Amino acid sequence: MSWSLRQGGKEAGASRILFTIKRDVGRVVITFIFLNFPSYKYKDSLMNILVVGSGGREHAIALAVKKSPLCDTLVCAPGNPGMANLGKCVPVDVADPKAIADLAVTEGIDLAVIGPEIPLVAGVVDEFRRRGLRAFGPTAAAAALEGSKAFSKEIMKKYGVPTAAFETFTDLASAKKFLACHPAPIVVKASGLAAGKGAIVCMTDKEANDAVEEMLGDKAVFGESGKTVVIEEFMDGEEASIFVVCDGKDYVILSSAQDHKRVFDDDKGPNTGGMGAYSPAPVVTDALLDEVKKTIIEPTLKGMAAEGKPYTGVLYVGIMVTAKGPKVVEYNCRLGDPECQIVLPLYDGDVLALFDAAEKGELAKLNAPKATKGSSAIVVLASAGYPGSYEKGKVVTGIEEAEKNGAQVLHAGTKMVDGKLVTNGGRVFGVVGHGETLKAALDIAYEAAEKVQFEGKFYRKDIGKKGLARLAKMGK
Ligand code: AMP
Ligand code: GLY
C-alpha cells in the first residue's frame, strides 16, 4: 500500500512534473504565437512603395508614405535630392507607362503612387493592372477628367454638375462666330494637357480672338492640346480646391486649399505653377462642403461609374464659389502642387493605408478620420526671373537651420552637383509650416523661408492673406 502509495506518489509526482512541463511549454508556445501573431500579420501587410514624380508634391507624398508603419522600402522615380533622404531614387521617364511598370517589377513594388498627371493620362494605371501590378491613381479613361476638358465638361453637363456654360470647337471659323455673339469677359481653354497654361481668361474681345487663333489658327502654339477648344462663361467668385480620395464608388475628403497662382503679391504678374497655398480654406465652410459633396463630388463619381469609367485615385475639384453656389472650374486627376504638400499632413490618419484601401476599392472598410488637424501653409521659394527664364546652379544653404522651428523644406527644383545642393528649377523649394491656426502655420513657414538661402531667391509675402481676412470676418 505504502509502496503502491509511494509508487502512486512517484507516478503522480512524475506525471505532475510532466504536466507542469507540458503546461509551461504550452504556455510559452501559446505566448510566443500570441505575441508574434500581430507582427506576422503586420509583416504580411508591409509594402514596398514606388512614388513616381520629382517635385515638391512627390516629396510630400514620399514623406507621408515613409511615416506609415505599412511602408517597407521606398523607391522614388525619378525622385529629387529631398526624396533621396527617404528612399532609393531611380531614373525613369515619367511619360512612359511601360518603363514605370518595368521598374515596379524590378524593384518588387507592392503599390505605386503616381504623382503627376502625365503618366496617369498616358495610362500608367492601366499598364499596371494589365500586368497584375497595383498603382494608386485613375485609369486613362478616368484621368480624362483632366486630360480632356471637352470630356469633363460633357460629363458635368450629362450628370448635372454645376459649372460654367460652354461650347466646344474644333475649327477656327465656328469659334470666332461664337465669340462674335458672346462678348468678353470669357474664358478660352485648350482641351488637352497644357501644363497649367491652357486656360486663358479673356477680359477683352481681342484677347478672346487671339486666344482661339493661338489654339485653332494657322500659327497655333498649343499643339495637339489646343486642337479642341472649350469656350466658357466667365465665373466671378473666390476659388478653392477640394481633394477627394476615391475608390470607384466611395470617397474620403482630404482638406480644402487655396493656391496662389500669380507670381507677385496681390495676385499680380503672370501665372505660375503655384507660389504658395494654405489649408484648410476658410471659404470652404462645412455647409459649402456639404453642397459640394451633393452637387459635385457624388454626381461626378456616380456619373463616371455609369460611364464604365469608375474613378479611383485623387480627384482634385477646383471650384469657384459664386453668388449662385459652388461651380466646377476644373477637375484634375491627381493631388495639386503645391496643395498636396499642405493637405497630406493635415490628414489625421495613415496616408498609405488610405491610398492602399482606395486602390483595393475598400474605402468603406477603412474608418478614415472625419476631421483634419490644424492648419498648414506653404511658401514657394523661386528663382529670379521665374516664370520666365531664370538661372540654375545656385548653391543652397540654410535648410537645417530653417527646419529647426518645425518647418519642412520640400524640394521642387534642386539637384546635387559635386556633393553640393544647387538650384535646378523655377520653383526651388516649398517651405511648409503647420500650426493650430492659419496664422501660426504661416509664421512658421515664413520664418523658415527667410533662412533658406540661394542667389536670386524670391517669394510672395502675402500667402494666406485672403484666408486670414476671411477668418477675421468670420470672427475666428
Ligand atoms: P483651369 O486650367 O481650367 O483650372 O483654369 C486655370 C485658371 O483660370 C483657374 O484657376 C481660374 O483662375 C481661371 N478660370 C478658369 N475657368 C474660369 C472661368 N470659367 N471663369 C473664371 N475664371 C476661370
Ligand atoms: N496647384 C495647381 C495644380 O496643381 O494644378
Cβ(201) to ligand 1 under 6 A?
yes
Q: H or E element: which one contains 162?
A: none
- For atom 5 of ligand 2, the residue with the nearest CA is 336
Taking every pair of C-alpha atoms in the chain, what is the biggest distance, in angstroms? 121
Closest CA to 254 of 336, 333, 372: 372
Beta-strand pair 47-53/71-78: parallel
Q: Which ligand has an atom closest to residue 276 CA?
A: 2
Cβ neighbors of 396 (< 8 A, separation 6 or more) are 414, 421, 422, 423, 428, 452, 453, 454
Which three cell numbers, joined as nine digits, stand for 449?
523661408
Q: How far is the CA of 127 from the centre of ligand 2 (A)?
A: 25
For 107, the grid coordinates are 524593384
Task: Give residue 127's pLDDT.
Answer: 98
Ligand nearest the Cα atom of residue 163: 1
Sign of CA dihedral 275, 277, 282, 288: positive
240 lines ligand 1 (CB under 6 A): no
Measured CA to CA in angstroms, residue 184 lies from 174, 206, 234 at distances of 17, 9, 8
Instruction: Give the per-residue pLDDT at 5.
Output: 39
Q: 382 and 424 in contact (C-beta within 8 Å)?
A: no
Averages of pLDDT over runs of 10 residues in the chain (476 residues) are 41 53 58 48 78 97 97 97 97 98 98 98 98 98 96 97 94 92 93 85 93 87 88 95 97 96 94 94 96 98 98 98 97 96 95 97 90 90 96 97 96 96 97 97 98 98 95 87
Q: Which three cell numbers stand for residue 266?
A: 496681390
Question: What cell numbers appear for 39 in the block?
Answer: 507582427
Return the exposure string of 143-170: e unless at least 16 CB atoms fall within 10 Å of the residue's CB, then b. Answer: bbbbbbbbbbbebbeebebbbbebebbe
Pocket test for ligand 2, best of 57, 254, 339, 341 (most atoms within 8 A of CB): 339
| Ligand 2 center from residue 30 Cα (angstroms) | 54
Please choose, from the candidates 399, 425, 430, the residue with its C-alpha nearest in 3D space to the C-alpha of residue 413.
425
Output the pLDDT for position 368.
84
Distance 213 CA to ligand 1 centre (A): 19
> C-alpha dihedral over 33, 37, 39, 41, to 10 degrees?
150
Angular region, 264: left φ>0, alpha ψ -120 to 50, beta rest: beta
- Residue 373: the pLDDT is 78
Ligand 1 closest atom vs CA 318: 4
Nearest CA to ligand 1 atom 11: 329
Task: Using DSSP, state whether 369 is helix, strand or coil.
Answer: coil
Which position has the grid cell 474681345? 205
- Long-range Cβ contacts of 210-217 (<8 Å, 24+ apart): 212/169, 212/172, 212/175, 212/176, 212/179, 212/188, 213/172, 215/188, 215/190, 216/169, 216/170, 216/171, 216/172, 216/175, 217/172
Rounded distance, CA 389 to CA 383, Å?
9
Q: Is the C-beta atom of 164 inside 6 A of ligand 1?
A: yes
- CA quadruple 55, 61, 62, 67: dihedral positive or negative? positive
User: Does 319 sit in the ligand 1 pocket, CB within 6 Å?
Assistant: no
Ligand nearest to the CA of 272: 2
Phi, psi of 265 (to 5 degrees): -55, 155
Give 38's contacts (C-beta < 8 A, 6+ positions apart). none
Instruction: Give the Å distance between the CA of 332 and the centre of ligand 2.
Output: 8
Ligand 2 atom closest to residue 335's alpha carbon, by position in its atom list: 4
Is 234 touching ligand 1 by the criterion CB < 6 Å? Answer: yes
Residue of the CA atom closest to atom 2 of ligand 2:
336
167 forms bridges with which residues in the sheet? 231
pLDDT tens column, 346-395: 999 999 999 999 999 999 999 888 777 799 999 999 999 999 999 999 99
CA of 459: how far to CAs of 260, 290, 322, 398, 409, in Å?
A: 11, 35, 29, 16, 14
Going by alpha carbons, the residue nearest to atom 5 of ligand 1 is: 199
Mutation choice for ligand 2 from 117, 197, 242, 332, CB with most ligand atoms inside 8 A: 332
**Cα-to-centroid distance, 273 and ligand 2 (Å):** 6
What pLDDT does residue 8 have?
43
| C-alpha of residue 4 to centroid of ligand 1, in Å | 99
* Rounded Cα gap, residues 190 and 196, in angstroms: 10
* Ligand 1 and 232: CB distance under 6 A: yes
What pLDDT, in 10s, does the model give residues 148-190?
999 999 999 999 999 999 989 999 999 999 999 999 999 999 8
Degrees to nearest 5, angle at CA 302 with 298 and 308:
150
Q: How many CB atoms lie within 10 A of CB 102?
A: 14
Q: Give the pLDDT of residue 17.
A: 54
Q: How far is the CA of 342 from the centre of ligand 2 (A)?
A: 13
Q: How many CB atoms lie within 10 A of CB 13?
A: 11
Residue nearest to atom 7 of ligand 1 (CA): 199
Ligand 2 pocket residues where CB is under 6 Å? 196, 259, 274, 332, 336-337, 339
Q: Given this model, what pLDDT does residue 21 score?
A: 56
